[in-house]
Amino acid sequence: MAGMTTSRPARPARLWRLSLTVCTAAWLAACGALDHLRLRPVEPPPPEAASALTAKPGWTATRHAVAAANPLAAEAGRHVLAQGGSAVDAAIAVQMVLTLVEPQSSGIGGGAFLLHWDGQRARAYDGRETAPAAADGRLFLDPSGKPMAFHDAVVGGRSVGVPGTVKMLEMAHARHGKLPWSVLFEPAIRLAEGGFAVSPRLHTLLAADAHLRKDPVAAAYFYLDGQPLPIGHTLKNPLLAEVLRRLSVDGARALHQGEIAQDIADKVQRHPTNPGRLTTADLAAYQPKERPPLCHPHMAAGRTWTLCGFPPPSSGAIAIGQILGMLGQTEAAHAPLTGAGLPSAAWLHTYAEASRLAFADRALYVADPDFVAAPDGDWRSLLDPAYLHERARRIGPQRASDVPAGQRGLVRTSLAPMPDQPEYGTSHISIVDGDGHAVSMTTTIEDAFGARQMVRGFLLNNELTDFSFLPADSAGRPIANRVEPGKRPRSSMAPTLVFDDRGQLAMTGGSPGGALIIHYTAKTLHGVLEWGLSPQQAIDLPNFGTTGGPVVLEKGRFPAAVVEALKGRGHEVREQDMTSGLQAITRASAAGRTVWRGGADPRREGVVLGD
Ligand code: GLY
């Protein structure tokens, strides 16, 4: 790592000690204590199992940097950047290695959103999965018309959407690649053939998962005599190496047509108890899309920034923009961290109320824009400062009993709000290359280990369970995010680029974590832009949030007085693991030169590497 330095950030000593002692104990205690099996209507569950908390030092690089959820993946990206590759080149190498070493979170069997900055313009590349042509609003209803239990829907072929990650990366590479496509697969092929050490996190998730071993192919790969592969076990994946080799030569069509596509369709359709409707025709028809990124001004610490995020089908950027925009209309806007380095109870209350208002709009309006019209014809109408001012007037000193969605324009919507559903999984990649161009990419197979269906060494997604299981409410009003053929399910993924008042890239970041992605990312943005923290300090801050019901606080991170103060304002408070996987890189300057400061989440295995 020539030229790369790690640095203990200049944070209040008291906060640093708190992170290391309280949190380590809390996270170790939580190992293996998983409960993903129940459908909890408004209490957001943690996205993937907690594994262990590892303090991260924060990093600085001068030329280029890559942040990813696994050191082997980050190293592949750094290698590409050191060869003169672009940020998109590095993202491809990282994604291919993540398919191998972090199979629980993302891969070539899933979907992704990539935001790109080319020094002039931000672009959004949509590689979200699509529903098969034969899918309809009854996909997740049982014979009596009731929504299926979440994991009954997830496990098998039913939940598998047409993967989009590789085709989307191919589109981005055609426009922004510098190195040949084929060389970007070399690190992953080498590791798949030579083997990699099973990480503590992969081991923990294998041990906790009740469903993966039901697939005989996955069981033979991930388990030995019924036991999860031990930490450090050298795991080889020659089948995946062969798939990657074909992708490197023939491009994405090797996945979407021919033998591999046939194997995917067979696996989905021939599942013995829960078959799906995906066909080879669906795979062949898949198209990634370029969409206009959702960019809007944001005031923080007396400066005007521009936040650029991913538009629908993701709800992430709209919800983050609304929450931070509403906060900005209140006294909490500029409230500092307390002496303990934590957000105050008053700030958390305002944040929670803003979040409940944002999640009400999300439930009513946000879905695939190719199927559902934006309110007032433009998704930015939900970020209009006058609208947010009006919405923020609902925030009072006590928890509001009623939090309806807002109304945009003259036409009242005929849609019904979508009930809350679990969302899990996912991984985030942040990259800045030697030209100062950047990628922010969030990538997913949805639940941990996706649909638990393994084909030729990779896992298939369960992204279709991000659709509403119910197509309509009891009055028959349709839900925007209902299943329809060819439609992309609503996401919470929030890859984000931030620009300063001179139009310079200031930050690239994002997180996994289901619906809580919105809060993890909002926390980090507010931490960096308003509280002036380094990316590592902002990521280290305790997590918090709500999707409309209880306020959820990261277990063991907030004093009892904060919990009691929130209860005093009428909130139900839940303390639980909140397994974010934030990775962020920010611009700073040292001795008149630009340097890149990186942070990776202590709650997962990510690192930032660069030169
Ligand atoms: N499946 C996670 C998301 O798209 O938000």
pLDDT tens digits for range 35-45: 222 222 233 44
Q: Kindly list the distances between the CA atom of residue 206 and the CA atoms of 121, 184, 300, 577, 579, in Å, as whole numbers in the listed order.
A: 41, 28, 42, 18, 16
For residues 43 and 219, the model is more confident at 219
Q: Is the CB of 447 under 6 A from ligand 1?
A: no
Q: Is the CB of 248 under 6 A from ligand 1?
A: no
Atom of ligand 1 nearest to the CA of 463: 1
The Cβ-side half-sphere exposure at 68, using a 13 Å CA radius, reads: 33
Atom of ligand 1 nearest to the CA of 426: 2
If you measure from the C-alpha of residue 63 to the centroid of ligand 1, how many angstroms do you get, rounded to a whole number?
32
Q: Is the CB of 446 under 6 A from ligand 1?
A: yes
**Mean pLDDT rounded to a whole number for the chain:** 91
Other Cβ atoms less than 10 A from the Cβ of 393: the count is 11
Q: Which amino acid is at 174?
A: A
CA distance 297 to 304: 6
| CA 90, 427, 54, 587 torsion-angle sign | positive
Other Cβ atoms less than 10 A from the Cβ of 309: the count is 30
Ligand 1: residue whose CA is nearest its atom 3: 491
Stretch 55-72: mean pLDDT, rounded? 97
402-416 pLDDT per residue, tens: 999 998 765 667 788
Q: Is the CB of 367 under 6 A from ligand 1?
A: no
Residue position matching structure tokens 């041990």 = 207
What pTM value is reported for the model? 0.92
If you measure from the C-alpha of residue 523 to the centroid of ligand 1, how many angstroms do you get, rounded to a whole number?
18
Give me the residues paired with residue 583 across strands: 510, 600
Look at residue 150 in the predicted model and tell me its pLDDT: 95
Q: Is the CB of 129 under 6 A from ligand 1?
A: no
Look at residue 419 in the predicted model and tell me its pLDDT: 79
Atom of ligand 1 nearest to the CA of 489: 4
Closest by CA position to 572, among listed 594, 554, 548, 591: 548
Atom of ligand 1 nearest to the CA of 447: 1
Closest by CA position to 99, among listed 239, 215, 1: 239
| CA 432, 435, 436, 437 torsion-angle sign | negative
Q: Is the CB of 426 under 6 A from ligand 1?
A: yes
Q: Is the pLDDT assigned to residue 142 strictly greater than 60?
A: yes
**How much of the chain exceeds pLDDT 70, in percent?**
90
Enzyme catalytic residues: 426
If you measure from the C-alpha of residue 512 to the centroid of ligand 1, how many angstroms do you get, rounded to a whole number?
8
287-301 pLDDT per residue, tens: 999 999 999 999 999
| CA 451, 452, 457, 458 torsion-angle sign | positive
Q: Is the CB of 546 under 6 A from ligand 1?
A: no
Q: Is the CB of 464 under 6 A from ligand 1?
A: no
Ligand 1: residue whose CA is nearest its atom 1: 446
Fold classification of 5-110+148-290+428-610 (topology level): Glutamine Phosphoribosylpyrophosphate, subunit 1, domain 1 (3.60.20)
Closest by CA position to 611, among listed 80, 89, 70: 80
445-491 pLDDT per residue, tens: 999 999 999 999 999 999 999 999 999 999 999 999 999 999 999 99
B/e letters for 47-79, b = 16+ CB within 10 Å, e = fewer, are bbbbbbbbebebbbbebbbbbbbbbbbbbbbbb
Q: Is the CB of 495 under 6 A from ligand 1?
A: no
500-542 pLDDT per residue, tens: 999 999 999 999 999 999 999 999 999 999 999 999 999 999 9
Q: Is the CB of 112 under 6 A from ligand 1?
A: no
If you measure from the C-alpha of residue 162 to the centroid of ligand 1, how many angstroms do you get, rounded to a whole number?
15
Look at residue 8 in the predicted model and tell me its pLDDT: 35
If you measure from the C-alpha of residue 601 to the centroid of ligand 1, how many angstroms do you get, rounded to a whole number?
18
Ligand 1: residue whose CA is nearest its atom 4: 491
If you measure from the C-alpha of residue 445 to the centroid of ligand 1, how many angstroms do you get, rounded to a whole number?
8
If you measure from the C-alpha of residue 362 to the centroid of ligand 1, how many angstroms do you get, rounded to a whole number?
14
Look at residue 333 in the predicted model and tell me its pLDDT: 86
